[in-house]
């Protein structure tokens, strides 16, 4: 079990990223529920979602409602669901809107769909047109009102984290990170979060379809996977887990087999030779 920052919440080390179940190309609802059920059956208890995981603005909240309905049908009240606000989906695009009014609208709708208080609520991105203090200030109000329990940041830099910490405690940082795209590892942000007692939650932990293909074609990764009797996919997630006990990868899935494979990474122990080989995958060639 790993801690979600300073919240007192403890979860299994691998979460479920809900986005593929609700955006373009999403599976039917029956399959979506089956993926969530398989994750829970495998011991998972931490699900990541967002009000903007949907087709477009007419479909806002689709992923949250799918998760809530599945948990209700199973009678599960012990699962930690984190969600996010601050994006809009005009015609299926991803636009940032972190004005206080829109954040409150998003959060209150999410609370109706998921139930309040929301255990962890992220600012989905930093809005270049709105001071971070204004956006966070609204989330602090929502926390003080009891709508959310803890605040997180997503798609941020170390500077954003420092600016936020001057205003309020931050429980988690969620950024894109994987063995092929390790900017936050090289910059020291992953380690810094650990020092500050902040959970680091990497999304796209295998790098999406591009990452899947590249890892599958890499002979060194294939050798490490064969050594451990697993897949390159699981090896990539195990690499993230080895970065520190504060790291909580959230692989997405639209198929039952995919999330079942992701969960096996928690039982893998990569040795120093494995880690050295994998670290070189994200080292630029000179």
3-state secondary structure of 148: strand
Active site residue 53: yes
DSSP state of 264: G
By the 10 Å C-beta count (0-12 exposed, 13-18 middle, 19+ buried), 75 is classed as exposed
Beta strand pairing status for 172-176 and 87-88?
unpaired
DSSP string covering 189-246, please?
HHHHHHHHT-EEEEESTT-HHHHHHHHHT-HHHHHHHHHHTS-HHHHHHHHHHTT-TT
Say how far apart CA 49 and CA 208 lie, in whole Å: 17
Say how far apart CA 185 and CA 163 lie, in whole Å: 20
Place of tokens 């096996």: 264
The full length of the chain comes to: 286
3-state secondary structure of 47: strand
Q: Tokens standing for 72?
A: 């209700």
3-state secondary structure of 39: helix
Catalytic position from the list 53, 122, 200, 203: 53
Active site residues: 53
């Amino acid at each position: 079990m790993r801690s979600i920052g300073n919240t007192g919440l403890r979860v299994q080390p691998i979460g479920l990223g809900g986005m593929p179940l609700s955006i373009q190309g999403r599976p039917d609802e029956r399959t979506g529920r089956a993926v969530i059920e398989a994750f829970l059956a495998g011991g998972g208890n931490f699900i990541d979602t967002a009000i903007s995981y949907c087709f477009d603005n007419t479909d806002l909240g689709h992923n949250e409602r799918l998760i809530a309905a599945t948990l209700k049908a199973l009678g599960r009240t012990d699962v930690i669901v984190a969600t996010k606000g601050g994006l809009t989906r005009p015609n299926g695009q991803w636009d940032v809107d972190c004005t206080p009014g829109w954040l409150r609208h998003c959060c209150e709708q999410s609370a109706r769909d998921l139930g309040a208080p929301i255990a962890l609520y992220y600012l989905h991105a930093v809005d270049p047109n709105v001071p971070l203090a204004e956006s966070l200030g609204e989330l602090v109000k929502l926390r003080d009102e009891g709508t959310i329990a803890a605040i997180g940041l997503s798609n941020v830099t170390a500077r954003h984290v420092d600016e936020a910490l001057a205003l309020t405690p931050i429980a988690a940082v969620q950024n894109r990170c994987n063995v092929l795209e390790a900017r936050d590892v090289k910059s020291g942000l992953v380690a810094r979060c650990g020092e500050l007692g902040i959970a680091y939650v990497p999304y796209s932990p295998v790098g999406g379809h591009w990452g899947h293909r590249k890892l599958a074609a890499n002979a060194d990764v294939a050798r490490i996977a064969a050594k451990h009797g697993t897949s390159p996919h699981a090896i990539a997630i195990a690499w993230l887990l080895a970065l520190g006990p504060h790291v909580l990868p959230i692989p997405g899935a639209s198929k039952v087999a995919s999330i079942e494979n992701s969960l096996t990474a928690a039982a893998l122990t990569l040795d120093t030779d494995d880690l050295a080989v994998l670290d070189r995958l994200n080292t630029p060639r000179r």
